[in-house]
Amino acid sequence: MVNQEINSLNENIKVALHYAERIIATIRVPLLVLDKDFNIKSANKIFYKTFSVNEGQIAGQNIFQLSNGQWDFPELRDLLQNLLPLKTKILDLEITSNFSLLGKKVLLINANEIINKLSNEKLILLAIEDVTERRLLKEKESEIQDVFTNMVIQAPFAMMVMRGFDHIIDVINEPALKLIGKSSADLVNKPIADSIPKIKSSGYINILDKVFIEGERYVATEQRFVLPHLGAKEVRYLSLVFDPFKNKEGVITGVIAVCNDVTTQVIAHKKMEENEMRFHLIADFMPEKIWTADAEGNKNYFNNRYLNFTGLPFADLKNWGWKQLIHPEDWPENEILWRASISSGEDYENMLRIRNAEGEYKWHMSRATALLDEAGHIQMWIGTKTEIQSVKEEEEKRANFIKMVSHELKTPVTSIKGYVQLLQLIIDSHPQTSLPETFTNSLERISDLINRQTRLINEMLDLSRLDSGQLEFHSTEINMLNLVTEVIEDLRLTNPKHKINFVGNKLCKVNGDKNQLEQVLVNLIGNAIKYSAEGTDVLVTVAMQDQNKVKVSVKDQGIGIDKKDQENIFDRFYRVSGKNEQTYPGFGIGLYISKETVTRHGGSFSLESEKNVGSTFSFTLPCA
């Protein structure tokens, strides 16, 4: 009976032991059982696997000598030594060590006393958890957290991170503290509404709540705030962005606030608006029609004078609407000029007719200039339109008057010229009749003066014809060499005191109006004679240029033209104003007409001149 009981007891113990071993084996944490001297009594499978050892290598070994003392950590030794005598426990002891085979490991150690009820032996159960990966992950997470925190701290604009429903300030950077006017001790780890009560009264707390709950970004620009600044309160303009802050799982855990102080920009903007208003106020009082346009030429302002004149509202005139008011005949040229200015940034100037509210076209002088920024880019255009209708009418009257006078003068002058020629013929045909020298000299002088008079009258007539578009153009094929020779021969007869030389050979022909081109030659050679001293030479050259152009040059040794005048002498009525120059008769229109004529023939003019040395006037014409 006793034997039977002992057998069944043994059997029970065996089952219990097996049961305990099975439990230990299935536990996923490496376990060691030590005796009171810290010798290893047993270990579970996961221990062998984790630390790459087998039962034979460790059974009976002292833990502190195990693997060449790699487990001999002073903290562990202290704790283990107290464990049995003082009945203490080891709870979550973290040890980091470099294992020769396994490398760096972070271990979490827990230990407890266990008693072998059979032998009454006190043992130590050591659970050694490998938390290396968990620790690394945590380190990485905190590294990321650090980077993020640093980003916030170092951001050049105000930034803070709030967590939770109460918007507890987690991180706040220096610019944000400066803006709020509080220290980080006042704010960090406290709900924002507690340390900045205004957040509540201004309604921003509701916005923060909304961002936190609904997860939608909030953006507000140029918000007005009264904030502490340099010891006083000041109006500042801020642009705000509140963004929901989510954790790894995508759950909103807080709000990030970014804030930009845009006070300087807003003030500059307001100042610009003020200036603009002031400009409009002044412009509305001006008698001129004033407009402005953006860099692309889109009109964005017309002063009252402009609107009243056209009788149209701004909406109808803006952008390209204003062009409907320009006379259709004036638009094509105006468009070319305006577009050229827009792309080059050069000033624009043009005369054109604009329709008024009554539907009548009035002549205007239209001007515009570009305002550039520091980098030289066009910022805007400002333009004026000045009515010149009365000036135009006056000009027309004057032109008509000149035309009429020239006509009236031409008839008697032509008659006088005829009578003088008749008298000269009579004298020539009666060589035996001796006349006083003063008589023949006077007759020659009269003939000279009449020629000059005729030339001036012709110039005046040509000018008025040119202005009124009545200068007719009779195109024929012209041999330039012949034409130049003919003109020179004529001029030699009437100007015996100058030597007119000629250089030229067989050349191409040109298409053009013979009379008009002849006039150009007479004018250039005539000027060369007029503006140089008696006895000096004039050289006329005719030569080919670029194989398809003929170039005529007239060179004199006369008074020359100053650099500053060279650009202007082709303008109508322009005469060089020097003491010397005043002594020569003329109207200042010969060169103007000559240049117009050459241009109408598809050619171009050039001038080289040096004061007191001489001038060379040249023009080229395309070959026929």
> What is the contact surface with ligand ADP in residues (CB under 6 A)?
523, 527-528, 531, 556, 558-559, 561, 569, 574-576, 581, 586-592, 615
State in angstroms the smallest separation of the CB of 551 from ligand ADP.
17
- Closer CB to ligand ADP, 28 or 497, in the complex: 497
Residue, CB closest to ligand ADP: 586
**CB neighbour list of residue 274: distance below 8 Å, 6 or more residues apart:** none
Comparing CA positions, the residue from 277, 362, 276, 358 lying closest to residue 312 is 358
Minimum Å gap between C-beta 430 and ligand ADP is 38
Kindly tell me which of 338 and 617 has the beta carbon lying closer to ligand ADP: 617
We find the least distance from the C-beta atom of residue 558 to ligand ADP, in angstroms, to be 5
To ligand ADP, the closest distance from the beta carbon of 530 in angstroms equals 6
**Residues 596, 61: Cα–Cα separation, whole Å:** 119
Residue closer to ligand ADP (CB basis): 32 or 528: 528
What crossing angle do the helices spanning 590-600 and 514-530 adopt, rounded to 10°?
A: 140
Amino acid at 547: Q
Cα 230 from chain centroid?
36
Whole-angstrom Cα distance, residue 272 to residue 533? 63
Please give the Cα distance from 259 to 275 (Å, whole number): 29
Q: Which of residues 15 and 533 has its CB atom nearest to ligand ADP in the complex?
A: 533
Shortest distance in whole angstroms from residue 452 CB to ligand ADP = 10
d(CA 147, CA 132): 22
Residue closer to ligand ADP by CB (options 40, 456) is: 456
| Least CB distance to ligand ADP at residue 595 (A) | 9
What minimum distance in Å lies between the beta carbon of 380 and ligand ADP? Answer: 40
Q: Where are the alpha helices (DSSP H) in 286-330?
A: 304-310, 314-317
Q: Return d(Cα 228, Cα 202) in angstroms, integer.
A: 16
Q: Which amino acid is at 73?
A: F
CA distance 172 to 149: 9
Question: Cα angle at 270 between 265 and 273, to 5 degrees?
Answer: 125
- To ligand ADP, the closest distance from the beta carbon of 570 in angstroms equals 7
| 3-class state of residue 42 by DSSP | strand
Choice between 310 and 553, CB closer to ligand ADP: 553
CB of 457 to ligand ADP, least distance (A): 12
Distances, alpha carbon 496 to alpha carbons 236, 490, 500, in Å: 88, 10, 9
Q: What is the DSSP letter of 157?
A: S
The answer to whether the beta carbons of residues 619 and 605 sit under 8 Å apart is yes
Nearest approach in angstroms of CB 505 to ligand ADP is: 25
Residue listed under structure tokens 């499978």: 45
Strand partners, 97: 105
Hey, what amino acid is at 619? F
Contacts 24+ apart (CB under 8 A), 524-528: 524/552, 524/554, 524/594, 524/617, 524/619, 525/487, 525/488, 525/491, 525/500, 525/554, 526/455, 526/491, 526/590, 527/554, 527/556, 527/590, 527/591, 527/617, 528/554, 528/555, 528/556, 528/558, 528/615, 528/617
- C-beta of 342 vs 491, nearer to ligand ADP: 491
Nearer Cβ to ligand ADP (97/541): 541
Closest CA to 178 of 222, 223, 234: 234
Beta strands, E only, 230-276: 232-246, 252-261
Spatial CB neighbours of 483, under 8 Å, sequence gap ≥ 6: 514, 517, 518, 521
Shortest Å distance, C-beta 521 to ligand ADP: 13
Our CB check for ligand ADP shows the closer of 133 and 534 to be 534
- Shortest Cβ distance from residue 589 to ligand ADP (Å)? 6
- Cβ within 8 Å of residue 15, ≥6 positions away: none
CB of 524 to ligand ADP, least distance (A): 8
* Complete edge-to-edge strand list for the sheet that includes strand 103-116: 40-43, 31-34, 121-130, 103-116, 90-99
The whole-angstrom separation of Cα 360 and Cα 362 is 6
Q: How far is the CB of 531 from ligand ADP (least distance, A)?
A: 3
Q: Residue 44 or residue 609: which is nearer to ligand ADP going by CB?
A: 609
- 228 vs 586, beta carbon nearer ligand ADP: 586
Q: Which is nearer to ligand ADP, 555 or 601 (CB)?
A: 555
Complex with ligand ADP: residue 495 or 523, whichever CB lies closer: 523
CA pair distance 550, 507, nearest whole angstrom: 8
CB of 414 to ligand ADP, least distance (A): 21
Strand partners, 234: 227
